[in-house]
Chain A
Amino acid sequence: MDSIFLQILNGLDKGGAYALIALGLTLVFGTLGVVNFAHGAIFMLGSFCAVTTQNLLTYSKKVKDESITYFEAFKEVPYLEIWWGDTGSFIIDYKVPFSILLAIPVMLLIGLAMERGLIRHFYNRPHADQILVTFGLAIVIQEIVKSIYGANPIPVPAPAIVAGSASIGSWIGLGESVVYPWWRLIYLANALVVISAVFSFLKFTTYGMVVRAGMQDRETVGLLGIDIQRRFTVVFGMASVVVGIAGVMYTPILSPDYHMGMDFLVLSFVVVVVGGMGSLEGAVVAGFMLGVLQSFAAMNEIKSIFPGIDQIIVYLVAVIILLTRPRGLMGRKGVMED
């Protein structure tokens, strides 16, 4: 019972990340009709926003270490601590939440620049060309990041107060032994918040309504005298912000390195396909579903029956879905079905 509860939680949490990434991917596909292989790279850039914030906040000065008296010793002290003392330390400790402030404008700009500079010229090219050019872009982005930040993963810890585990079991009466890392709970909550924000934006604002209408029938919306092109540019920016936040918040869970984007890319495509190309609800549902499936497949009881199932379950589900129901769980009929 305990372990099943934890697995569900684990799966939801993993699924939160999948859902966020897939949401951005399917937003872009649904609105712009572009298959974006650089999406994973944008996720990675989000993570590196957190790394950059960390680097900026901990920019240090060499000062003499007074505690050592036998010889001249120096230690690095961040300027923030020198200027503001405890407030500075506090800010440094909370670098991950703070980096979201940096990530939002930066990711928006990156998204807009990408759409304006490259993606726009590929709307009318075949999907294969879109895949290829964005694949090339992904390589370029990850190599630039590698040349700036190096090839090794850079740890970015969560604030100290949430570094440990929550004794979640005692909250719901499962006993003290059931614990779960705080940050993962926060990640799940964050995913839910961002997902709801995106959906309310699309459902309740006129801007969002036009975008949704454009997803259904681009031509007609264009005929109504609405500059759908421009709105789609904004959507691309928004998708970048969503996946960027997913990346920032993921850094305490997985230390970012330059190829994390590629690793997540394939998975997020699988999520989008399972959910249904261009279906936002599908992407979210499939994200959580695959997350949960994956963590159950990783249980020893299951693995002893089907060895290796945890390694392939997600892809297996995708293959089965594609063959039996090509439009995905919640895709509209006729959209990209052949």
Chain B
Amino acid sequence: MDTISRKGELRMMALFAVIVLLMPIWLIPFGAAYPDLLQKFAIFGIFAVGFNILFGLTGYLSFGHAVFLGVGSYAAVWSFKLFTMNVIPAVIFGVLFSGIFAAVIGFVSLRRSGIYFSILTLAFAQMSYNLAYSVLTPITNGETGLQLRLHDLRMIDGLFIEAGEGLPLTNLFGIKMSGYPGFYFCAVLLILAFYLALRIKNSPFGMALKAIKSNQLRMGYTGFNTRPYLMSAFMISGMYAGLAGALLAVTDPLAGAERMQWTASGEVVLMTILGGVGTLFGPLLGAGLIKYFENIFSSYNDALLQETFSFLPDMLNNLMVGIISPFVGDGWHLTLGGLFMVIIIFLPGGIVGGITMVWRRYMKKRGASAEMEGETS
């Protein structure tokens, strides 16, 4: 069996938790150990892990997952506005509403498979995006985006606390959710979300999803009603996206429609593919790398490049800067697109898939040579 034992699972989770929680330390040498970026790692990690439950396990490629991210954000901000600045209800609302949206969109889209499913989800994403910009302005605040206001209702907070000066901050029972506390809140949820994804993957339910991906016809004649399986996978993965969206609002309480655009859905596809579809850690790695490069690459400019290559003679320096500068700064999307194509063409299993392949080959070689030694001795 391809799954790990209870003990192995526990060890893996412990290691994972340590790695995630210690990110503020071990990411220092990479220049990535500041709360804003760390929060993004955790949030988009959740998004990608959830997306992978759908795409990785069932093979259904949704191009509209950003809708759920957006819905999660809107729901969370409304929870801040209407009820309380406490983040727990916000997260719950985010997950709940994205679950409802996923149920509706999934119910319709899952009637088709393959490319038609992708296009249906794409169509729903565009509809939601367009509506958020136009008639739904009372809910979404249109182009400006939904923001907190001084005179928001905040029914529950109003009962306990005097409204202070200025905009209130999101909090977890009094702990401010900006900076590192915000990161740790997201990190804990990431660990939980990852654990759930691990359990799903190794459960009979997850096995059924993998079998649906492998051969849907056989699944039917094996007695499985595939629709509710796909529906559950779609909803779970939509709720993951909603959680991520809510966390975006927790760390920065505003929500805009651009979060729902289909290119935003494309981004989570990129993350998952880059890291490795269907693998446990791949989507996390992909999300981390993309968010890292987005921040690091995009901050590079020509002056910084000049400095980096200052050890070279002038002519070479200018040449290097000339070659590299289109790929950094504003042009980092170019690097991303190119990298993505390379991965699809040469390494369909993504980074994790590639590493596994190399590792297996190495082990095989070692096994073979050990056998040879055994024969000669």
Q: List residues of chain A with CB under 8 Å of any chain B CB.
A: 35, 118, 121, 127-129, 131-133, 135-140, 143-144, 146-147, 151, 262, 266, 269-270, 273, 307-308, 311-312, 315-316, 318-319, 322-323, 326, 336, 338
Residues in A with CB closer than 8 Å to B118 are 128, 131
Given known A-B contacts A132-B269, A140-B338, A147-B326, A266 and B131 have beta carbons under 8 A apart? no
Contact of A273 among B119, B135, B330, B344 (CB under 8 A): B119
Chain B residue with Cβ nearest A151: B330
Q: List residues of chain B with CB under 8 Å of any chain A CB.
A: 59, 61, 108, 111-116, 118-120, 122-124, 126-127, 130-131, 133-136, 262-263, 266, 269, 273, 326, 330-331, 333-334, 336-338, 340-341, 344-345, 348
- Are the CB atoms of B135 and A311 closer together than 8 Å? yes
- Are the CB atoms of B341 and A143 closer together than 8 Å? no
Residues in A with CB closer than 8 Å to B124 are 315, 319
Contact of B131 among A127, A312, A319 (CB under 8 A): A312
Once the chains are docked, how many angstroms separate the CA of A241 from the CA of B133?
34
B346 CB to nearest A CB, Å: 11
Q: Which 8 residue pairs of A and B lie closest in terms of their CB atoms, listed nearest first? A: A139-B337, A308-B135, A143-B334, A311-B130, A136-B341, A140-B337, A136-B340, A315-B123
Given known A-B contacts A133-B341, A139-B337, A322 and B112 have beta carbons under 8 A apart? yes
Residues in A with CB closer than 8 Å to B120 are 318-319, 322
Contact of B115 among A139, A262, A315, A336 (CB under 8 A): A336
- Are the CB atoms of B344 and A336 closer together than 8 Å? no
- Are the CB atoms of B334 and A131 closer together than 8 Å? no
Contact of B126 among A136, A139, A266, A308 (CB under 8 A): A266
Chain A residue with Cβ nearest B263: A262
Once the chains are docked, how many angstroms separate the CA of A312 from the CA of B125?
10
- Are the CB atoms of A144 and B126 closer together than 8 Å? no
Residues in A with CB closer than 8 Å to B119 are 269-270, 273, 318, 322
14 pairs, CB–CB < 8 Å, chain A vs chain B: A118-B341, A127-B115, A131-B61, A132-B269, A262-B263, A266-B126, A266-B262, A308-B136, A312-B130, A315-B124, A322-B119, A322-B120, A336-B116, A338-B116
Residues in B with CB closer than 8 Å to A270 are 119, 123
Known: A132-B344, A269-B119. 11 other contacts (CB 8 A): A139-B333, A140-B341, A143-B337, A262-B263, A308-B131, A308-B135, A312-B131, A315-B123, A318-B120, A322-B116, A326-B112
Residues in B with CB closer than 8 Å to A266 are 122-123, 126, 262
Contact of A127 among B114, B337, B341, B345 (CB under 8 A): B114
Residues in B with CB closer than 8 Å to A132 are 61, 269, 273, 340, 344
Chain A residue with Cβ nearest B132: A311
A242 CB to nearest B CB, Å: 21
Given known A-B contacts A132-B273, A311-B127, A319-B123, A143 and B333 have beta carbons under 8 A apart? yes
The tally of CB-CB contacts under 8 A between chains A and B is: 111
Tell me what chain B mostly uses at the interface: helix, strand, loop, or mixed.
Answer: helix
- Are the CB atoms of B114 and A336 closer together than 8 Å? yes
Chain B residue with Cβ nearest A273: B119
Once the chains are docked, how many angstroms separate the CA of A323 from the CA of B113?
11
Residues in B with CB closer than 8 Å to A135 are 266, 269, 340
Once the chains are docked, how many angstroms separate the CA of A336 from the CA of B108?
18
- Are the CB atoms of A129 and B130 closer together than 8 Å? no
Chain B residue with Cβ nearest A129: B344
Once the chains are docked, how many angstroms separate the CA of A164 from the CA of B27?
60
Once the chains are docked, how many angstroms separate the CA of A146 from the CA of B123?
26
Chain A residue with Cβ nearest B337: A139
- Are the CB atoms of A131 and B115 closer together than 8 Å? yes
Contact of B334 among A127, A147, A308, A315 (CB under 8 A): A147
Once the chains are docked, how many angstroms separate the CA of A262 from the CA of B111?
26
Chain A residue with Cβ nearest B344: A133
- Are the CB atoms of B326 and A319 closer together than 8 Å? no
Given known A-B contacts A128-B61, A269-B122, A319-B124, A139 and B116 have beta carbons under 8 A apart? no
Contact of A139 among B127, B336, B345 (CB under 8 A): B336
Once the chains are docked, how many angstroms separate the CA of A137 from the CA of B124?
24
Residues in B with CB closer than 8 Å to A151 are 330
Given known A-B contacts A319-B120, A322-B116, A136 and B131 have beta carbons under 8 A apart? no
Once the chains are docked, how many angstroms separate the CA of A212 from the CA of B273?
35
Residues in A with CB closer than 8 Å to B130 are 308, 311-312, 315
Once the chains are docked, how many angstroms separate the CA of A135 from the CA of B338?
11
Once the chains are docked, how many angstroms separate the CA of A128 from the CA of B62?
10
Contact of B114 among A121, A137, A311, A338 (CB under 8 A): A338
A41 CB to nearest B CB, Å: 10
A222 CB to nearest B CB, Å: 24
Residues in B with CB closer than 8 Å to A137 are 337, 341
Chain A residue with Cβ nearest B340: A136
- Are the CB atoms of B334 and A144 closer together than 8 Å? yes
Once the chains are docked, how many angstroms separate the CA of A127 from the CA of B338?
20
Residues in A with CB closer than 8 Å to B266 are 135
Given known A-B contacts A132-B269, A338-B113, A146 and B340 have beta carbons under 8 A apart? no
Residues in B with CB closer than 8 Å to A315 are 123-124, 126-127, 130
B122 CB to nearest A CB, Å: 6
Contact of A319 among B108, B114, B134 (CB under 8 A): B108
Residues in A with CB closer than 8 Å to B136 are 308
Residues in B with CB closer than 8 Å to A307 are 135
- Are the CB atoms of B331 and A143 closer together than 8 Å? yes
Once the chains are docked, how many angstroms separate the CA of A15 from the CA of B271?
35
A61 CB to nearest B CB, Å: 27
- Are the CB atoms of A308 and B134 closer together than 8 Å? yes
Residues in B with CB closer than 8 Å to A311 are 127, 130-131, 133-135
Q: Which of A118, A146, A319, A326 has most chain B Cβ within 10 Å?
A: A319
- Are the CB atoms of A139 and B135 closer together than 8 Å? no
- Are the CB atoms of B135 and A147 closer together than 8 Å? no
Once the chains are docked, how many angstroms separate the CA of A144 from the CA of B326?
8
Residues in B with CB closer than 8 Å to A136 are 337-338, 340-341, 344
